[in-house]
């Protein structure tokens, strides 16, 4: 099996860690560039890197222009010659507030991390992705960003920021199609990560009738990360521009 190089953001825990673990275990020939805001605190990630030898951990604060500006030098340090797959996973979700009450700084924080940062990182990675033929761009989105399958519970800035990210996915899928890129948004499901569990409890506070539904569809981080990775592995040309669910079905925008 020919190894591929993956650039994954937000890998110190949760879905990002599980995607990193999946590709690291899949083949010793893979190289995973795993980013974290503070690698010194990413104990599980460091343990995985020491065990498998194919995970390179770099510092990346996706809200910092300075940190994003250092991506080229970070890649040069670890001898990366091209990237096959970019997985934009880093995100925040803490806006379980009605639109009418949501403060400006909450909107801006969610837009900065969830909508803009994935694109700003891509702008730095673009030339590295062009060095490979694989050219897969995967943006981890959320069902909360679907306008068609809207769930009436307060997610305000989070839902809107993911809908904005989805718009960029659609636009990029057209912009980069002629260069052979496959650009998709992927919903990872309702996942029992730290962030997901916090969201679950906040949603149930606001919408108690959704508790049984959330419990029935909840999956573990490992289940989500593994299935998202398998979606990535199986991307075809005709998937370009789609919003896909972790279970390999298409999610409505």
Beta strands in the chain (DSSP E): 5-8, 31-36, 55-59, 85-88, 136-140, 182-187, 190-191, 218-219, 243-245
Q: Could you tell me the sign of the dihedral formed by the alpha carbons of 17, 23, 24, 30, in that order? A: negative
User: Smallest Cα–Cα separation from 147: which of 171, 123, 136, 163?
Assistant: 163
Write down the H helix ranges in 218-253. Answer: 221-233
Catalytic residue among 23, 86, 96, 158: 158
The one catalytic residue among 21, 136, 162, 242: 162
In the residue annotation, 21 being an active-site residue is answered as no
Q: Which two tokens stand for residue 17?
A: 């860690």
Distance from chain centroid for Cα 192: 16
Structure token digits, residue 253: 């925008």
Annotated catalytic, 158?
yes
Q: Which residues are catalytic?
A: 158, 162
């Amino acid at each position: 099996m020919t190894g591929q190089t993956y650039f994954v953001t937000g890998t110190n825990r949760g879905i990002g860690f599980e995607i990193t673990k999946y590709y690291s275990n899949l083949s010793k020939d893979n190289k995973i560039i795993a980013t974290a805001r503070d690698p010194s605190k990413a104990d599980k990630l460091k343990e995985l890197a020491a065990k498998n030898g194919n995970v390179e951990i770099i510092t990346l604060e996706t809200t910092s222009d300075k940190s994003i500006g250092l991506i080229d030098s970070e890649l040069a340090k670890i001898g990366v010659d091209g990237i096959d797959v970019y997985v934009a996973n880093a995100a925040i979700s803490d806006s379980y507030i009605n639109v009418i009450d949501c403060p400006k700084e909450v909107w801006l924080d969610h837009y900065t991390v969830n909508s803009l940062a994935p694109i700003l990182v891509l702008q730095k990675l673009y030339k590295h992705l062009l060095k490979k033929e694989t050219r897969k761009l995967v943006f981890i989105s959320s069902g909360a960003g679907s306008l068609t399958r809207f769930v009436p519970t307060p997610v305000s800035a989070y839902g809107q920021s993911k809908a904005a990210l989805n718009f960029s996915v659609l636009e990029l899928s057209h912009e980069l199609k002629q260069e052979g890129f496959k650009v998709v948004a992927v919903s990872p499901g309702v996942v029992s990560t730290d962030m997901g569990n916090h969201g679950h409890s906040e949603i149930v506070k606001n919408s108690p009738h959704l508790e049984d539904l959330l419990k029935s569809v909840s999956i573990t981080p490992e289940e989500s990360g593994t299935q998202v990775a398998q979606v990535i592995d199986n991307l075809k040309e005709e998937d370009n521009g789609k919003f896909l669910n972790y279970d390999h079905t298409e999610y409505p925008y």
